[in-house]
Structure 1
Amino acid sequence: MSGGDDRRGGSAEGGPVGEIALPGLFILAALLLVLASKFWLGIGLTVVGVLTGLIFTDVPVWDIVTRLQFSESVSHTLLAIPMFVFMGQALTKSGVVERLFTGLTPWLARFPGKLLQSNVLACTMISATTGSTVATCATVGSTAVPELRRRGYAPGPVVGSIGGASLGMLIPPSLYFILFGLMTGTSISRLYIAGLLPALLIQLLFMTFIGSIALARPGLVPAEREPVTPRALLASIPSMGPVVLLAAAVLGSIYFGIATVTEAAAVGVIGALALMVAFRTFTISALNEALRETIRITGMIMLVFMGATVIANFIGYLQIPAHLATAIEAADLAPVVVLAAIVVLYLFLGTFLEGLSMMLLTLPIVFPIVTNLGYDPIWFAVVLAILIEISQLTPPLGFNLYVLEGATGLPIETVMRWQVPFVGLMLLAIVILFVFPQIATWLPEVMR
């Protein structure tokens, strides 16, 4: 894990939990205080890490912190974050969402659920180019909801299909996988590939549910008035082509070993700018706005990441994860019981913590425990990504709930109610991944 070179200390074998009780309680209380104060999380994490080092260790804290801040910030891989963020911002302003939704409409108009299925596919394809659940919810929500309501679709299923289908954490260019890989030393390229089949599994579950509810309650989905002709199908292909080609270029270059994640991000930036020019949406104003949002989002992510790196270093030095793993082993708990407890913990934390912050806060402790139990790191990364997606739809914090409320103008109660079945389907996907872990691990194993 990041910063491991600075972690020293005795062996954790047989170490009593009592040795970590006081520093553990201090860290927990300090983090709760930071969260309750609504202070900047990144700075708060750094302060907690520094205080932990000063109080409970005898290492040169300031030397370690300054060295960490420099060594982590110059990572070549981190360059992918601002580039992927900019790619998403540029695509959002290029008009690609409207074109994609228009292109998908004739292909799915005859399926059970009709254009609700378009929402699922549109969200998945947009996530493959923006890597942002929030951006996907906002752009597809503001585009699809007015159109589907005009066609007579019930508002609840429409907003439900959008919120539940935003799989930005699982699909490249997911920023989550970049940070997970940097924090744990896991291959980011393999993480990107690992998320594909689970994302398709969840998409299939969503589309099956939508089709089933459309058949069971026909009043929710109106009959299509316009016939779908072969000419209409052919005419829709150019609307979908740019998104498909850009996603294929980014992901394919990673999978076949042609480019690193950072180089693939650069390809994505060039492609996004090219689409803005091609769609005649490239203006100085749009470019400035995309750059401002990129700086804001990247700054927020990096501040939290650097703070998490500091606190992770001192948690590792104190051997807290090793002692907890020893205690779990001594308690003779079945691995599935421990994993279930971790899932419940994340579901609880997701009610009041933002997804990426939740991951960066907990990973230094949870990851060593999970790997010590014998679970594949890549498999766990995928499961954690799904749990973070669930947290985005869990009240009261669930940020995507309020994004959808603002983008669609629907009451928050309606938005929340229609996310429940999709959250249930994501939990079902976790169960399926537990029974069949190969869904997440097979593609990385055969990756070149």
Structure 2
Amino acid sequence: MGLLELALLLLVLLIFLLGSGVWVALGLAATGYVAMALVHPSPGLFLAGAYWESAASWTLAALPMFIWMGEILFRTRLSNELFNGIAPWVRRLPGRLMHVNIFACGLFGCVSGSSAATCATVSKIALPELAKRGYDQRTAIGSLATAGTLGLLLPPSIIMVVYAVAAEVSIVRIFIAGFIPGLMVVVLFSAYIAIWALLNPQKQPAAEPSTSFGHKLRQSAQLIPCVLLILSVIGSMLGGIATATEAAAFGVAGSLVLAAVTGSLTWQGFKDSLAGATRLSCMILFILAGAAFLTKAMALTGIPAALAAAVASAGLGPYAIIAILTVVYILLGTSLDGVSMIVLTTSVVVPMVQQAGFDLIWFGIFIILLVEIGQITPPLGFNLFVMQSMTGKEQTEIALAALPFFAMLVLAVALITVFPGLVTALPDYLLAR
């Protein structure tokens, strides 16, 4: 059997397994077992070895800690404090409190690392407040559904850790690489809201009374604990004081202190946060273990190397390869979650992009932006489900409300492709010092 026939057989098998409802982790492992069995007499030994190696990783120890940090903060009053702290400063911007959705999601994403948690937590306070003041509900829902994805792009992002482990790149470097693209997406979202507000003045409520500078500062004081937590986690890594895993431990300790100080740390909440972090961590680790075995199997079959050679011989330019991968990942986003998208494709795609001359840190941010798009793409966009549960509206209506912000994410993908320095410049500068 040739490599092309083998690749098609494995692809059909994987699609069949995933389509039949088999867990993603088991589908990946089963496909890897079949691939391994065709080229090696003892695939079971490789299966055990791959599972052990994927789990016994010091780098991966950061994952459950960052997840637990987000679970703790999800159960605090942080969303109220973010809304109240940001609101006084945006009342004079076109779109006024709509911008709070964007900035609050950006800040909460920096401490939660999760798209769904960011979307749900900020929406819980923002939607009622905006509705009470008479803001356009459609734009509010679309901005929250999409801005919630900032939890993936701004460090410490859970999915960044998954990509770093799968592609064997530095977690700290990819964390730093997410800052400029993340801020760029925040600016793009806010710019759209401002333009929309200027074009639709009749959909804006009356301006609220102005407040003194001192009042704004007092309101913003509520942001200090959140900002200090972000600085302690990210700053400890940038300053070389802590590894990503140690910084994650600092983050958990800081979030526990923050929850205790705000009076939202209860014994039941503590147990719920621990259980939630355990469930999500086990799911992701199981998927990574299945992907690790599939990666080993694919390497032994020689399929990734053959595909990389085929791409090189096809004479496709870098932009053509990126255009093809963009379409592929957007299609994958309609039926797979972000973690599955990354671990499913890394073993095949990474050799191809390396052959084409792309930086793997840049490619990680590129994939994460496409995963963000997948979070708001029907029928399985997870943020659509979150907003559907919070508003009671149909998924199609929410997806249409998010469409302009979807276009902003596509624009962000185009910008980092044309100007890759937006991703690579900051980590190169900071880590070279």
- Above 0.5 in TM-score? yes
Deviates more, 1:146-155 or 1:409-418: 409-418
Deviations 1:217-246 (A, max 9, x none): 012221233322223202112211111111
Q: Distance in 2 between matches of 1:59 and 1:183?
A: 26
In the alignment, does 2:402 pair up with 1:426? no
Correspondence for 1:401 among 384, 401, 411: 384
* Partner Cα distance (1:162, 1:42) in 2: 31
- State the partner residue of 1:344: 327
Corresponding residue number in structure 1 for 2:92: 110
1:435 aligned partner: 418
SS in 2 for 1:418: helix
Aligned to 1:157: 139
Selected match of 1:138 from 108, 115, 120: 120
2:101–2:126 contact (8 Å) kept in structure 1: yes
Q: Percent identity?
A: 36
Contact 1:45/1:307 (8 A) holds in 2: yes
What's the counterpart of residue 277 of structure 1?
A: 260
Alignment correspondent of 2:317: 334
Report matched runs for 1:10-89 at 5 Å: 19-54=2-37, 56-89=38-71
Q: Deviations over 1:332-373 (max 9, x none)?
A: 222211221111111111111111101110111011101110
Q: Name structure 2 gaps, 5 residues minimum.
A: none
- Cα distance in 2 for partners of 1:196, 1:205 equals 14
For 2:200, the equivalent position in structure 1 comes to 217
Provide the residue aligned with 2:233 in structure 1. 250
AA aligned opposite 1:344: V
Distance 1:352 1:183 in 2: 20
Which residue of the partner structure matches residue 307 of structure 2? 324
Whole-angstrom CA distance in 1 between matches of 2:241 and 2:78? 26
Task: Provide the rounded CA distance (Å) in 2 between the counterparts of 1:69 and 1:58.
Answer: 17
Partners of 1:257 and 1:409 in 2: CA distance: 46
The 5 A counterparts of 1:173-192 are: 173-192=156-175
Contact 2:91 2:208 in 1 (8 A): no
Q: 1:446 aligns with which of 410, 429, 432?
A: 429
Note the aligned Cα RMSD (angstroms): 1.2
User: 1:5 — aligned with what?
Assistant: none
Q: Which runs of 5+ in 1 are unaligned?
A: 1-17
Q: How far apart are the structure 2 equivalents of 1:158 and 1:336?
A: 35
Kept after mapping to 1: 8 A contact 2:14/2:31: yes
Q: How many Å separate the matches in 2 of 1:169 and 1:418?
A: 21
Query: Displacement of 1:412 after TM fit?
Result: 2.7
Deviation at 1:182, TM superposition (A): 1.2
C-alpha distance in 1, partners of 2:220/2:86?
A: 8
Equivalence for 1:303 = 286
Please name the residue that 1:14 is paired with.
Answer: none
Contact 2:54 2:288 in 1 (8 A): no
Deviation per residue, 1:395-418 (Å, 9 max, x gap): 111111110111233343331111
Q: What's the counterpart of residue 7 of structure 1?
A: none
Spell out, residue by residue over 1:185-210, the C-alpha distance to the aligned partner (whole angstroms, 9 max, x if none). Answer: 11111000001000111111111110
Mean Cα displacement is larger for which, 351-360 or 379-388?
351-360
User: What is the rounded CA distance, in whole Å, between the counterparts of 1:308 and 1:336 in structure 2?
Assistant: 28
- For residues 402 and 134 of structure 1, the distance between their equivalents in structure 2, rounded to whole angstroms, comes to 9
**1:293 alignment partner, one of 248, 265, 276:** 276
Map 1:358-437 onto structure 2 (within 5 A).
358-437=341-420
Q: How many residues align?
A: 430
In structure 2, distance between residues paired with 1:22 and 1:310: 21
State the 1:139 CA deviation: 0.9
Q: 2:104 aligns with which of 117, 122, 129?
A: 122
CA distance in 1, matches of 2:430, 2:41: 42
Q: Output the CA distance in 2 between the equivalents of 1:298 and 1:225.
A: 44
Contact 2:146 2:383 in 1 (8 A): no
CA contact (8 A) 1:391 1:398 kept: yes
Q: In structure 2, what is the Cα distance between the partners aligned to 1:34 and 1:89?
A: 31
Letter in 1 for 2:45: D
After TM superposition, the structure 1 = structure 2 runs for residues 91-106 of structure 1, keeping only pairs within 5 Å, are 91-106=73-88
Residue 59 of structure 1 and its aligned partner are, at CA, apart by 4.9
How far has the Cα of 1:163 moved from its partner? 1.6
Q: CA deviation at 1:41?
A: 1.2
Amino acid at match of 1:69: Y
Q: CA deviation at 1:63?
A: 1.5
* TM-score, length of structure 2 as denominator length: 0.97
CA contact (8 A) 2:388 2:395 kept: yes
Segment drifting more, 406-415 vs 282-291: 406-415
Contact 1:190–1:444 (CA under 8 A) maintained in structure 2 = yes
Letter of the structure 2 residue corresponding to residue 446 of structure 1: Y
Q: How far is 1:319 from its partner? A: 1.3
- 1:72 alignment partner AA: S
User: Aligned letter for 2:174?
Assistant: L
User: How far apart are residue 29 of structure 1 and its match?
Assistant: 1.1
The amino acid across from 1:323 in the alignment is A
Confirm or deny: 8 A CA contact 2:237 2:243 kept in the other structure. Answer: yes
Instruction: Tell whether the 8 Å contact from 1:256 to 1:447 is kept in structure 2 after alignment.
Output: no
Which among 219, 226, 235 is matched to residue 236 of structure 1? 219
Distance 1:408 1:242, change over 3 A: farther
